[in-house]
Structure 1
């Protein structure tokens, strides 16, 4: 289903020698998609059946399906397969949490918690389908995630990109777990504040910020901060850092175990692994992740 309507137009012209409009190509793709995965609306009706099938075939799984009480319409769901819950016990106690948007006609957002295997592979633990990255939805996700983790008795380090609604929800639901902000996202956010400056200055800023993040002691941090302020606009770096607790992003102040990790690359790996499923109806999306 990766073909775009424009690609279908070109293939029809090449294979059969006649032209079709973009609208016809789009409708053809939608028809083929419905034949393979079922219709969008019908997929939501299948979720109740899918929940019962998962709980019966994979005991120990967690599948929480919420609907609006007045309309019985889909609201959100949380899912973690028993095999993934059990498997996470043998992964590093690190979880990358992130949100990505769906590409189906109903859009929506997918929240995910991804672990890391011993050979640095992607290990999906849990996911949530909801309408957007609100504080309420992140709280829903973290509450059920917390229940899974408490039974394992490990202190898990979380890493995130400080997404919308995530910070307040995390501090409310998981206050005892270390939370590290992704260095790559912080660096990109900082670079966005340096519009209109030369590439040389930007590279110097980025290198000094790297030294700041990876400082191994408070004295080193203060040294690199002083050097950092010698480059570019002092107010920019001060404004950028003032609302970020040091224990959430600086190696010297981080109290948890980070296992040499400072960037949320695993969440990006999950997004790439999940790219095709994001275009599927809700039921097809979940069934495909089960197969994977």
Structure 2
């Protein structure tokens, strides 16, 4: 299994009444409630400036350099993440892949992955994680000695995800993984996300590509001006049509799947779409 830390580290990510301010002036989030059940994919949608990236920063503890303050509760597997820094959050099994990939261009693929595995406790754990990443991304194994900056955009996105997977996360948070990629590569990234989730890792996915996000997710939340304005299970076709019409523009035809044409896996029954 690529993701997961055993039964003691796998659980639900719960966000309750979350508020986030920048500099004490700009309110980016205002009373957000969100749940990521263990083993599920949840899509977080909304226009630019809605607060999606701010939510990931709050969960990952990446707030120090943004002059941000947080109120509310963020709990994973029954333990609060509020007040933890990024390194400690990673050690708890919650890892973020930031928008824009943020790889180290001058370092080799292998060196980038090594940095991602710093939280692992033993050399054996590190080697096992690296082998699993190379199984998931064969192109990275082929180019392990190549500087990250010489990879294509899609390969750099694979490296960014692979670096996060080196920490063996139970929860993987992806911020715009399809940004700037060609359609064929977007389908490849979608298949990779499916594979990671099928191996036991819960995924919180921010995506402007709504077609991709809704094809992958079990449940979706739409943010608007820092609030959840619509939420529910993606298995509900009637209310899915509403969210697509109101927020997401063009959508796939019925039955269309992003990525490999394989039978859809069973989805859990969650709450119906609901306006907040």
Q: Same fold (TM over 0.5)?
A: no
**Of Structure 1 and Structure 2, which has the larger fraction of its residues in helix?**
1
**Bigger radius of gyration, 1 or 2?**
1
Q: Counting strand residues as a fraction of each chain, which structure ranks higher? A: 2
**TM, length-normalised to structure 1:** 0.30
